[in-house]
Homo-oligomer: A and B are copies of this chain.
Amino acid sequence: MTIGLTPFSVSTILSRVRSEPPLVQCLTNAVVTNFTANVLLALGAAPAMTDIPGEAGPFARIASGVLVNLGTPHAEQRTAMLEAALAANDAGTPWVLDPVAVGSLPVRTALAAELLALRPTAVRANASEIMALAGLGAGGRGVDATDNPEDALPAADLLAAKYGCVVAVSGPTDVITDGESTLRISNGDVLLTKVTGGGCALGAVTAAFLSAAEDGEGLTAAAAATAVYTIAAQQAAAGAAGPGSFAPAFLDALAGLSDEQITTMLVSA
């Protein structure tokens, strides 16, 4: 049973991120590196895309949080991802797994299973990917979500319980669970799905917020990341003429997001 995420919780973690900028290491896909770094900078965090073997591990030890996104997992990056996850675990650095398009594609599906076994702090994905990751679905086609977050809740709970992680399922209403409690965020805008990396960059923001979480705050932090991200998107969409003008407006909105906007706009259950 939950009563939803409070604006106060969101503002508290956001202010920690802004006052003590976390260093967020992203091992992510080639399509969204630029947008992801700009999202982190707009948020007040410091991005670093250190993703080669021999450096990914040492960097994960000094990073505040790590994102492992499987969008375009070429061979060197796969090695670096495992290296980073192991080092993050060893150093106590929170890390987020984004299993892009897991299910039907063999290389990333095998890698996702290997990474999942290393027990990420959080998993962020769309409903189809979460169901595929839990073995309860076939996955979507590419990054498309063909399933509903609510339908993926059993799979998300299963993953959360089995691997001790928070699972965030993105969709029109985002569902975030730790296997015991569930939070729902109904902010955002469909334009966020019309900019590549709209989901991927949220994984990086989640890593930033987890790095600012205290013990036991994982669920709240992951949900707060989603809230900040989707509220900024909703605000940006209000003034956008299309997906092109939405993207820079979204970065501006993230950079300028105020506690008042969070209080006014947050829709959570």
Instruction: Spell out A's residues near B (CB within 8 Å).
Output: 23, 29-35, 37-38, 41-42, 46-52, 54-55, 58-59, 62, 71-77, 101, 104-108, 141-144, 193-197, 241-245, 247-256
Residues of B within 8 A of A242 (CB): 42, 251-253, 255-256
Residues of B within 8 A of A38 (CB): 195-196, 243-244, 247
Q: Which residue of B lies closest to A244 (CB)?
A: B251
Asked if A50 and B142 sit within 8 Å, CB to CB, the answer is yes
Asked if B23 and A49 sit within 8 Å, CB to CB, the answer is no
Residues of B within 8 A of A244 (CB): 38, 42, 247-255
Report the copy number of this chain in the oligomer. 3
Give 10 A-B pairs besides A41-B195, A74-B76, A75-B76 with Cβ atoms closer than 8 angstroms.
A41-B196, A46-B141, A48-B143, A55-B107, A58-B105, A59-B105, A62-B141, A241-B256, A242-B252, A244-B253
How far does the alpha carbon of A251 sit from the alpha carbon of B33 in the complex, in Å? 19
Q: How far is the CB of A122 from chain B (nearest CB, A)?
A: 22
Asked if A58 and B247 sit within 8 Å, CB to CB, the answer is no
Residues of B within 8 A of A144 (CB): 23, 46
Asked, given contacts A244-B42, A248-B247, whether A32 binds B29 with beta carbons under 8 Å apart, the answer is: no
Residues of B within 8 A of A51 (CB): 72
Asked, given contacts A42-B243, A194-B41, whether A74 binds B52 with beta carbons under 8 Å apart, the answer is: yes
How far does the alpha carbon of A215 sit from the alpha carbon of B247 in the complex, in Å? 38
Residues of B within 8 A of A59 (CB): 105, 142
Asked if B46 and A29 sit within 8 Å, CB to CB, the answer is no
Asked if B42 and A194 sit within 8 Å, CB to CB, the answer is yes
Residue in A51, A72, A194 with the greatest tally of chain B CB atoms within 10 Å? A72
**Interface residue from B49, B75, B194 paired with A31 (Cβ < 8 Å):** B49
Asked if B23 and A141 sit within 8 Å, CB to CB, the answer is yes
